[in-house]
Structure formats: structure tokens, C-alpha cells
Amino acid sequence: MVAVIGQREVDSQTLSIRVRQSGDLGALTVPEVVEKLQDAIAQKAVC
């Protein structure tokens, strides 16, 4: 996962997220990014 933080993201208080498997997820708020990270971690813990 790569987070892109440019002036646009700073102005809108979002992060642009790109994931290797699924591509560009677009602009997400910090709580949305945290939720996606927690979900990804939980899925890895099960496997």
C-alpha cells in the first residue's frame, strides 16, 4: 500500500491510496485508511 500526500490531499484532509493488487483506491479520509489497514491486518492474521 502506498499513500500519496500532496497539496490536494492536504487541502482536502485525505490520503490518496494505491494498492498493488487492486490499484488506485482514490482519496480516503484518515479514518477510512485506518479501517482498511485494520481489515487487511485481520485478514492476514487468519491465514
Find the CATH number of the domain harbouring 16: 3.40.50.800
State the pLDDT at residue 47. 54
**Domain count within the chain:** 1
* pLDDT category of residue 1 using cuts at 50, 70 and 90: confident
pTM: 0.72
1 or 18, which is more confident? Answer: 18
* Residue span of the structural domain in which 29 resides: 2-46
Q: How far is CA 24 from CA 17, 29, 38, 45, 47, in A?
A: 6, 14, 18, 24, 25
Distance between CA atoms of residues 46 and 38, nearest Å = 13
Alpha-carbon gap, residue 42 to 4, rounded angstroms: 24
7: Cβ contacts below 8 Å, ≥ 6 apart? none
